[in-house]
Structure 1
């Protein structure tokens, strides 16, 4: 098997979730070495019992990978792994990034800002109007809109982004062989031509309830910030907002009618400190590291934005600590920079997006050769 097939194979092993996957790769160095390991070698890894070890050994001769690769090809998709240059840097920076992403379409320029717009599956007209307007205006400014292809606010946000002429990314809670919900299949096809439809789940995975909270962490993980437009007290959009907080990303919310059940979640987010959003400018204010161009209705992507070229004092401090050959762990950088942990994480992510820093597995960094 080639390298990518090895990543897919380990990803398909029953019982190997994203945490076990990371543990195994950290121990053996590469999925190929995991798949080559003996039963005895595998059970030496903390938390790996005989059952999972036996499944891994069985996959050394399994045919599941061939079936999966054929499905990927049949549905016009491709696979991006954490080892690939095209894996999104924002997503790679979270604590538990998916080892494998199935993609239909293109993930686009990695230096382009991304913002999630999410909300209720049963919104009021007000919520749909606001979601479409915000997504369209973000798109017109060259910002990629991320959402979950669900009914209601999510699909409205995707449509707004498409109308704005920019790109949008839909993250599914099922495999790409099962576009869900069914009524959004045509929308998903449009998105795949003007952005990407992505999933961490193997191609044939059905849309099960437990998949969607995991899906939500990818929506927020792909994004600099998450905008909740309309959400009730138990809305899945609040799970996305919680993931965003845990990932150190911005959380923003559109205020709603205080008598409407579908606004209780968003209004509570604002009471808890989420940025109140009345216009797209409120969102842009939370993207200070990006030099956003003026609104360009005719060619937003080409005219949109570029990273600021000059280093800030804190960026310069981080760069001075890094070396192009000797690896530096994030804890070492935090200790010697005398900057807060969250600031160091944000700065390293920004520098990685700009191509000035390279992140290796295990939160280890090198200064990029330019």
Structure 2
């Protein structure tokens, strides 16, 4: 990617226009100083600079307050960020043997369901989740606290290269940016926004994982935690989250919205039939609300009377049934092809 290769973005620095509810002059101001620093530099062609005007921009980020105006991304499966269900897995940088075992088990089972796994690329739980997804042939994406081309931690350089082949790297920091302490809370905000659900497999009392969990809760994402031994301090943050209302996870099937495992004996026409399973009255009401026009999550919350968390879960389930689609922050009733 050359600075001149940012031609999809540079025109927005010249002429303000309105698009998708965002004012592009704001976009220009947010990006100008960063893009000036890129001029004259040459980068790999696979690196992309993406604004919220780009179809590749992760649609879930459009639902959060102050979404990043500019993301730098690299990878062969970046579109996985916009698939129907995405799970984040995070936790301790120094996991116990129990934390390692639990993370490998759940990450492997999630990957086997065809669900993309997002994490932060850090030592410990993050790296384990990425590696296990890769081992199972699944999709995984890392949100980094440094710029593209600046692997952190350095020992994860090979891991990041493999993640690019089976997912991608995402950051709001310009290529080559060194990691800094204050980058990671900002990184965690993006990580939480990219996911439908966040799973904490192990985290001690002082874990920074709670920052990401807090962002996820604020965004209406499902927050989940795996319980541990009361004789060890390794899971104290998990227990605190569960006490505060996080979903207790013992199995991949406990994860709300998780697609069912693929069954070889399932009739082909049944597998392709959207919404073949029973819908309750609440789901029917949501679909009827979407018959008239696309709606934002906040709009549906106001008109339905459901809590944000309950509605987000129901919409995720309806998405996985093929009955609802999400585009640029708007939920729509899926259009079924005529028989």
TM over 0.5: yes
**Residue range with higher mean Cα deviation, 207-216 or 110-119:** 110-119
Pairwise CA distance, 1:163:
1.1
Specify which of 76, 82, 98 is matched with residue 68 of structure 2.
Answer: 98
Structure 1 spans left out of the alignment, 5+ residues: 11-23, 36-51, 297-304
1:120 touches 1:153 (CA, 8 Å); kept in 2? yes
1:104 touches 1:192 (CA, 8 Å); kept in 2? yes
TM-score between both structures, scaled by the size of structure 2: 0.78
Match of 2:9 in 1: 4
What is the rounded CA distance, in whole Å, between the counterparts of 2:319 and 2:52 in structure 1? 14
Match of 2:186 in 1: 214
Shift of the 116–32 alpha-carbon distance from structure 1 to 2, 3 Å rule, reads: closer
Shift of the 347–92 alpha-carbon distance from structure 1 to 2, 3 Å rule, reads: farther
What is the rounded CA distance, in whole Å, between the counterparts of 1:160 and 1:365 in structure 2? 32
2:225 touches 2:249 (CA, 8 Å); kept in 1? yes
Shift of the 291–350 alpha-carbon distance from structure 1 to 2, 3 Å rule, reads: closer
Q: Answer yes or no: is 1:253 the counterpart of 2:247.
A: no
Aligned-partner SS, 2:79: coil
1:321 touches 1:333 (CA, 8 Å); kept in 2? no
Query: How far does the alpha carbon of each residue in 1:219-267 deviate from its partner, in whole angstroms, 9 at most, with x for none?
Result: 1211111111111112121111111111101111111122323221112
Specify which of 146, 151, 158 is matched with residue 123 of structure 2.
Answer: 151
Aligned ranges for residues 158-169 of structure 1 at < 5 Å?
158-169=130-141
What is the rounded CA distance, in whole Å, between the counterparts of 1:166 and 1:221 in structure 2? 21
What is the rounded CA distance, in whole Å, between the counterparts of 1:78 and 1:115 in structure 2? 23
TM-score between both structures, scaled by the size of structure 1: 0.72
Specify which of 3, 28, 52 is matched with residue 82 of structure 1.
Answer: 52
Match of 2:268 in 1: none
Structure 2 spans left out of the alignment, 5+ residues: 1-5, 265-270
Pairwise CA distance, 1:126:
1.0
Q: Aligned pairs, how many? A: 312
What is the rounded CA distance, in whole Å, between the counterparts of 2:314 and 2:109 in structure 1? 27
Pairwise CA distance, 1:112:
3.9
2:198 touches 2:224 (CA, 8 Å); kept in 1? yes
What is the rounded CA distance, in whole Å, between the counterparts of 1:142 and 1:261 in structure 2? 33
Aligned ranges for residues 216-295 of structure 1 at < 5 Å?
216-283=188-255, 286-287=256-257, 291-294=259-262
Pairwise CA distance, 1:292:
2.9
What is the rounded CA distance, in whole Å, between the counterparts of 1:120 and 1:333 in structure 2? 36
2:204 touches 2:235 (CA, 8 Å); kept in 1? yes
Q: Answer yes or no: is 1:66 the counterpart of 2:39.
A: yes
Pairwise CA distance, 1:92:
2.1
What is the rounded CA distance, in whole Å, between the counterparts of 1:259 and 1:87 in structure 2? 44
